[in-house]
Amino acid sequence: MTESVSPRLREMRWWDIDPVLELEKELFPEDAWSRGMFWSELAHARGAEATRRYLVAEVDGAETGSGVRVIGYAGLATAGEQADIQTIAVARDHWGTGLGATLLTELLTAASEFECAEIMLECRVDNVRAQKLYERFGFAPIGFRRGYYQPGNVDALVMRLTTDPDSSSAAGSPSVQGTEIHD
């Protein structure tokens, strides 16, 4: 049962790593991020030189007696005018509530604040739910990364959203390192 209170979004902090890792391992058992990966990302998320934006979604778990519960998280990395959506995850009992779209909207807002004209992401080829979400927001498939998700050797679908009106469509960036481009 989902909590009746609307989720609150806030900046992810170091004390969120343990509950985020629990959710990460539940949702992505074969290719879950490590504690060190989250620490490394958060190390670049604050201050004047920040190149990352990480969020958590939380609810009060009064119905379950669990206090505050992290039910989702998302992260974005930037380099110059390009942003990469690193991760978006929503607890299974909150699938279909719009939380994934809310998290994605916040990441796209952050990309705009970082003045990124292009947003990239990788998505498991078997994660149709996520692909449909990204397509609703205007992301287009541009290629594959073979065997990207390990240890399962699952391919990644590479998707791109171009936000700069002066740049061309998917052909605006002719190569993405390690990606088979199919324009």
pLDDT of residue 84: 97
- pTM assigned to the model: 0.84
Positive or negative torsion for Cα 158, 164, 167, 168:
positive
Cβ atoms of 141 and 157 closer than 8 Å:
yes
Q: What is the pLDDT of residues 117-129, one digit of tens each?
A: 999 999 999 999 9
**Predicted pLDDT at 49:** 92
- Sequence-separated (6 or more) residues with CB below 8 Å from residue 110: 53, 76, 83
Taking only the tens place, the pLDDT of each residue in 3-26 is: 456 899 999 999 999 999 999 999
Q: Give the pLDDT confidence of 63-94 residue by residue, as tens digits.
A: 556 688 999 999 999 999 999 999 999 999 99
Q: Please say if the pLDDT value at position 177 is more than 50.
A: no
What mean pLDDT is reported for the chain? 87
Distance from C-alpha of 173 to C-alpha of 165, rounded to nearest angstrom: 14
Q: Which two tokens stand for residue 53?
A: 């934006």
Q: What is the DSSP letter of 172?
A: G
3-state helix, strand, coil in the chain (%, to 5): 30, 35, 40
How high is the pLDDT of residue 60?
A: 87
